[in-house]
Structure 1
Amino acid sequence: MPLLTLDACWAQAGGTSPTRFIGASVFKGEEFIGLNDATKHFHATCCRACRVSMSRGSVRCSLKRSRYRRPQKSVDLDLKVDQSSSNTNVTDGSSSTVENAPSIDVSSNSSSMNSTTSISSRSTVLQACTVTSGLMVALGAIIREASHVAFMEGLPVIDCTKEISFGFETWHLELVTGLVILISSCRYLLLRTWPDFAESSEAANWQVLTSLEPVDYLVVSFLPGISEELLFRGTLLPLTGNNWTSVLLVAALFGILHLGSGRKFSFAIWATFVGLMYGSATVVSSSIVVPMLSHSLNNLVGGMIWRYSKSESLR
């Protein structure tokens, strides 16, 4: 098989008229003979930088730099030379150009940003949200009713239904508005000043909200907001004393339970802070409706802002 040789690597030993090898061409004096076939030149000598394997018809070349040494790499070239290239004009002393050379596939192991986060399907998100919220509502309602029955029977148990009611007054609307503005503003600032929290929040939003339709945001905002507040602020808070100590304890539990699903410790701290705000509003208003509305609206505002920012970045 014809072999494409490297420039200035070969010289014919002996003979009155020297034979020169330029690229893939052979010259006798100044006359072009044809393509270079290494198997026809047994007296050829090789420079010490190159080694020829006749059996494989390949060239292995290890280049050494004078100023610095780079890691040596063995490059196997197995180039089939088209016989029609014999009509190509080659200028003396110039290197031949090989076009349409074989492409090289390079495989590299690269990891995605923050380890690729899986995206849940729309049906999976809605189903999980509905089932989880239903369980929390059922658990909260059962405990509240059980505490009421136990209290009526004279047992030393706090009646959750009396401590925290479903009543709603006009000034509660102002409290809800203030909570939504405060929590949304704090989230906005933290997303831009706390990288770890921003990464954690992005991972959770990407996993849950990506596959949802706009109307689905109402479901994933209000169902968790209502069910979580009924269980934590409407049940656990009055059972533990309905005071500022119980506000802190329930908020800490609320924050711990928000770990996982791509959420880091920073998100748990944020959830604890939010729980403190909702718990404080519950104690002040003695109404479970206030934290329910605040939580749901904050979920909706945060979700819609995230969706809008992502749609803008993809344009």
Structure 2
Amino acid sequence: MKRNLQEVDDATLCLNLWLTQGLILAIAASCSLWLHGWDGTLGLFRLPLLSGVGWAAAAATVVILTSIAMDRYLPSNWQDDGSINERIFGNMSTAGIVLVCVAVGFSEEWLFRGVIHPFAGNLWTSVIFTIVHTRYLRKPLLVISMFGTSWLLGLLFELEHSLWPPILAHIGIDLVLAMYLRYTIKRRQGEEL
């Protein structure tokens, strides 16, 4: 049995990503229907006002710029997740990255904002969100970043009472940062040649 993620090949790592997101989506859908009913679940997905989309874009921009600044100006060992993100996104096609980011953003926001948040509030939902991202727990900077991002996504949900603003922000954050990561990997490999 593999003892840590470093011993798992990249294909198995990606398979685990998809299985995890499928499980999160199934839990989100079943719990949402159980807790909110059909009409309540549909209500979570009502279209936001244009201002909600603007707030989502603003929140995503803040998180993206903060993450890029952390990458450029802070020691890399403060942010190293064991190179898991590099292994997942480094050689993935653009279409693959988009698909993963949409799946992750949709399923995680439905579970955390749509199911957990209405009962636990933003603080505890953000704590749970941070803890679930276990590979970041050994790095205080990543814990703070994860909690802050979750807190912002929770504020978007509270502001609009719709899952779409946090979903759009989550997808945007993941997509831009995954593309940025792939770009920096390719640039580094080009410099090493």
Q: The residue matched to 2:180 in structure 1 has which SS?
A: helix
Aligned to 2:176: 301
Separation of aligned partners in 1, 2:108 and 2:77: 22
Which stretches of structure 1, 4 residues or longer, exceed 4 Å deviation after superposition?
116-119
Aligned to 1:170: 50
Q: The residue matched to 1:260 in structure 2 has which SS?
A: helix
Aligned to 1:135: 23
Separation of aligned partners in 2, 1:290 and 1:162: 15
Larger radius of gyration: 1
C-alpha change, 1:221 and 1:253, in structure 2 (3 Å) is: same
TM-score, normalised with respect to structure 1: 0.53
TM-score, normalised with respect to structure 2: 0.83
2:135 maps to 1:260: yes
Separation of aligned partners in 2, 1:173 and 1:148: 24
Q: The residue matched to 2:47 in structure 1 has which SS?
A: coil
Report percent identity of matched pairs.
Answer: 21
> In terms of mean alpha carbon deviation, does 166-175 or 293-302 score higher?
166-175
Aligned to 1:48: none
Offset, 1:196: 5.7
Contact 1:197–1:266 (Cα < 8 Å) also in 2: no
Separation of aligned partners in 2, 1:282 and 1:131: 26
Offset, 1:172: 2.0
Separation of aligned partners in 1, 2:8 and 2:182: 15
Separation of aligned partners in 1, 2:47 and 2:80: 36
Match of 1:180 among 60, 64, 80: 60
RMSD value, Cα: 2.7
Letter in structure 2 aligned against 1:178 = A
Offset, 1:161: 3.3
Structure richer in strand, relative to its length = 1
Offset, 1:119: 6.8
Structure richer in helix, relative to its length = 2
C-alpha change, 1:182 and 1:197, in structure 2 (3 Å) is: farther
1:247-288 Cα shifts (integer Å, max 9, x gaps): 011001111111227963432221111000000010001110
Q: Return the structure number with greater relative CO, CA threshold 8 A, min gap 6.
A: 2
